[in-house]
Chain A
């Protein structure tokens, strides 16, 4: 037996797995070969050293951790069983539920938001909007500071009384005829707007209407039916209309009641979709401009007849002047 063979058998020798004959031959070689003897001894020492290595111990809660993992696995197994057993029934059910959920989520995500144009902005293209000069034409001269402030407040806040009108500041009725007659014929021939400039500002009454222009025409009819007349008109970019009117004091309450009733009738109309409302507003502005032209034309005709009317009014009861602020109902 040579040294190479001894090396090959060294592990078996140390583990006592050689036959007695081979073991004898190997030991005889070791007695004569110091190299092989040293190799065997080194191998033996390493085996003994490995056997004496310190035992690696578990932590103190090892058993508890094992049970915790067992419980966790059992829970997962139960959950799996409840969810997917029997698979023939449960799996199609889950697929159906997930599909319905996905459809619902898709619809919610891609649902179009309702159009809500900002207040005061037009959704019509520039070419369809009315020229600003028609809307901003002023008939009345500037009022006093206090009156102007009240008018601006009414425009800005846009407050709407439940009964659709609000008396801002009642004032003593003014006798336009007397004032005009004091000024003489030259005064009588003055335009009502000019006469108005020299008189105290009338009370402002706010009225709301769906269609301002149409409502203005109705007001004119109501007014004339009660012996009144329109003294002046002023509109704003927001489709508001300021109408200065004059009528017999005795017919004031009746006129205001009729005007309120007319506004309520209009308010009773069902709200229309936002896009349609915007279009109607644009058309309303156009109608308003037309109405303004008509009313002013009638006004100029009434100016010519003013001396006659003034004559008729001589000796008649005192009149009251009102400023109607007609606001579009939003």
Chain B
């Protein structure tokens, strides 16, 4: 029986009863998150999309055994993390393939064009720096600083101890600090803590 505190509880129960439309809703809700993790872990868009599809296929087949021990989102991230870590590259890795090129940015009326360009370049630098991190540090950084999961959620998703999550995150951030020193003012942007 799914936990009542799980925001996806009702959908899960419908899926377990054979409701295909409920499954579709779940896919549409989490597809970009799963895709984001896969893309930054794998580094190739096509492979990441294929991997993301496989995540939902696995989830579909395993849903009958989901009993609400954890939140569905955490459970889904666990499948995603395991799939990414087990993934074997079929093609030669091209670090800029998935995340290169023009990316959509939120319009900022207050920033000048030069700042926007610098910001864009910084983002690209950061993406490359994330790709260069060791896989275990990369996963924790993505879950925390990009996807916004808490330390506990990261621990549940990866099966790591909280202390391990903390230390890996710290090492990943230190490595990025050495690589990138942003020059653009970021007052009031992004998430903190």
- Please encode chain A, from 1 to 30, with 1 for each CB lying within 8 Å of some chain B CB and 0 for all others: 000000110111011110000000000000
Shortest C-beta distance, A301 to chain B (Å), equals 98
Shortest C-beta distance, A6 to chain B (Å), equals 13
Let me know if B61 and A56 touch, CB within 8 A: no
Known interface pairs A15-B193, A48-B191, A50-B141; 12 further A-B residue pairs with C-beta atoms within 8 A, sorted by A's residue number: A7-B174, A10-B170, A12-B166, A46-B173, A46-B177, A47-B191, A50-B126, A56-B39, A56-B45, A57-B35, A58-B32, A70-B60
Q: Which residue numbers of B lie inside 8 Å of A, CB to CB?
A: 24, 27-28, 31-32, 35-36, 39-40, 45, 48-49, 52-54, 56-57, 60-61, 98-99, 103-105, 122-123, 126-127, 130, 141, 144-146, 148, 151, 166, 169-170, 173-174, 176-177, 180-182, 186, 189-193
List 7 A-B pairs, Cβ < 8 Å.
A43-B177, A45-B181, A51-B145, A53-B146, A55-B32, A70-B57, A70-B61
B104 proximity list for chain A (CB < 8 A): 54
- Across the A-B interface, how many residue pairs have beta carbons closer than 8 Å? 117
| Bound CA span A51–B179, Å | 17
Q: What residue of chain A has the Cβ atom nearest to residue B182's Cβ?
A: A45
Q: What residue of chain A has the Cβ atom nearest to residue B130's Cβ?
A: A50
Interface of A is mostly: helix
Q: What residue of chain A has the Cβ atom nearest to residue B40's Cβ?
A: A56
CB within 8 A of A49: which of B49, B53, B166, B182? B182
Let me know if A42 and B190 touch, CB within 8 A: no
Decide if A73 is an interface residue (CB 8 Å cutoff). yes
Shortest C-beta distance, B47 to chain A (Å), equals 12
CB-CB under 8 A for A56 and B182, given A49-B190, A66-B27: no
CB within 8 A of B126: which of A10, A16, A46, A65? A46
Let me know if B49 and A58 touch, CB within 8 A: yes
A50 proximity list for chain B (CB < 8 A): 126, 130, 141, 145-146, 176, 190
Let me know if B192 and A52 touch, CB within 8 A: no
CB within 8 A of B53: which of A14, A46, A62? A62
A17 proximity list for chain B (CB < 8 A): 151, 166
A66 proximity list for chain B (CB < 8 A): 27, 53, 56-57, 60
Let me know if A69 and B53 touch, CB within 8 A: yes
| Bound CA span A10–B170, Å | 8
Q: What residue of chain A has the Cβ atom nearest to residue B57's Cβ?
A: A69
| Bound CA span A63–B52, Å | 11
